[in-house]
Structure formats: structure tokens, C-alpha cells
Chains A and B, each alone.
Chain A
Amino acid sequence: DTGVSQNPRHKITKRGQNVTFRCDPISEHNRLYWYRQTLGQGPEFLTYFQNEAQLEKSRLLSDRFSAERPKGSFSTLEIQRTEQGDSAMYLCASSFPGQTSNTGELFFGEGSRLTVL
């Protein structure tokens, strides 16, 4: 499968614990995005990378959230001192805007569902 891969798919943690999610984008894609989605809502943008550079962060990404993409390949999203309000689906997407026929299409993974007790 050459799609976007996210791990773990499900994570249950207690409030105050740290969690880390990993995203492996489609190999030739140089852009990687993180979104958060809560029940009944559309995905909310968190941050995106072009190669290893983090180019934009949403105000939703508080100082408890950090994302990295150290070698321009996979990315991690860490949430420190989790709160119940962090419970959501965390979606990763990748794209390759350099293609001449590019539609700006984002390829999403299946998400990592976080439940904070």
C-alpha cells in the first residue's frame, strides 16, 4: 500500500500523559499536513511542512502540541500533558504540488483517534 500511513490508529490515554502520532506520507510527496477532526465537524488545519520545514501553524496548535518532520519524510505530532479536549481524530495528509497537472489534491491517511480519559 503506497498511501498515507498513520500510527497508531487508536490511542487511549489518561489526562496529563504525553502521546505521539506518526505519519508516513506518500513517498514522493514533499508537503505534509496535520488536521484535527472532532465529531460532527470538518477537519481543522493544524500545521503543514514542505520537506522538513514547518511553514505554518494554526493558533489551534497550542504550546502543548509539537510537530516535526526531521528528514522531510515521516512526521510526528506530539501532544504533551493531554487534556480531555484533545480527544479527536488526528489526520495526516500529503501532497505534491510540483506536478504540472496538480489539482492541489490532499491524500489523507485513515487518522489516529485519540481518547483522553
Chain B
Amino acid sequence: LAKTTQPISMDSYEGQEVNITCSHNNIATNDYITWYQQFPSQGPRFIIQGYKTKVTNEVASLFIPADRKSSTLSLPRVSLSDTAVYYCLVGDLSNFGNEKLTFGTGTRLTIIP
């Protein structure tokens, strides 16, 4: 599995756009990039997934450059409820379930009023 590196923590003010970058230098051709969000005392929750370029859903956007060695999760106009830990995972979509999804330590995002 490709190893990922994320900042340990980030702070932002309410209403700001937050960008969390994940490095995955040894990403393989078949690997997808997936982000999960976790609140205290809850299990992680899927946010978004992409392979290349840009993906957007109702919650976030995911930007992936052409070399795919990094990705950036973008949260628009954050609120206090976005305070959570965000995990970046990389893996072969066709093999999900046949390989151990590996979570790193994630990025602890704190939103300041």
C-alpha cells in the first residue's frame, strides 16, 4: 500500500476554506485516493474519493495533480462542526476488501469561532 503523509494538525477560523494536503509519492497506477472524516467517539466516515484531476461532492472537493503524488482535500466555508480528524488513504479500488485499508495518524482540524 502506498504510504501517505499528512500534517498532524491544522487550525482555521469559521467561514474560511480549508485545504489539507496529503503526499503519496509511491502511488500506483491503479490506486484511488480516499478521504475519511472522524469525530471523537465515532467511526470514520467516507467523505470523497478520486483518481485524477478534480472531484466535487456536496461536502468537499478533491484536487489531484497530474503526477498524482499528492492530493488536496478542500472544505469550503468551514464551521465548528467540521472540527474532526481527516484521513487520507490510497489503495487499489478493485482490491478494496482484499487489502488492509491503512489509516495513518490523520490531520486534526480545529475550527476556531
Contact = CB atoms under 8 A, between A and B. Distances in A.
* Binding between chains A and B: yes
Interface of A: 4, 31, 33, 35, 40-45, 48, 50, 55-56, 58, 89, 91-93, 95, 97, 102-111, 113
- Max chain A C-beta neighbours (<10 A), residue from B93, B96, B105: B96
A109 B43 CA distance: 6
Nearest to B100: A45
Contact of B102 (A4, A45, A48): A45
Given A97-B96, A103-B34, A108 B45 contact: yes
B63 interface: no
B37 to A, nearest CB: 11
B81 interface: no
Name the interface size band of chain B: 20 to 34
Contacts of B103: 35, 42-44
Given A56-B100, A91-B44, A92-B43, 12 more contacts: A41-B105, A42-B85, A42-B103, A45-B101, A48-B100, A89-B41, A104-B91, A104-B97, A104-B101, A110-B41, A110-B42, A110-B43
Contacts of B104: 42
Interface in B79-97: 85, 87, 91, 93, 96-97
B46 A106 contact: yes
Contacts of B91: 104
B4 to A, nearest CB: 10
Contacts of B42: 108, 110-111
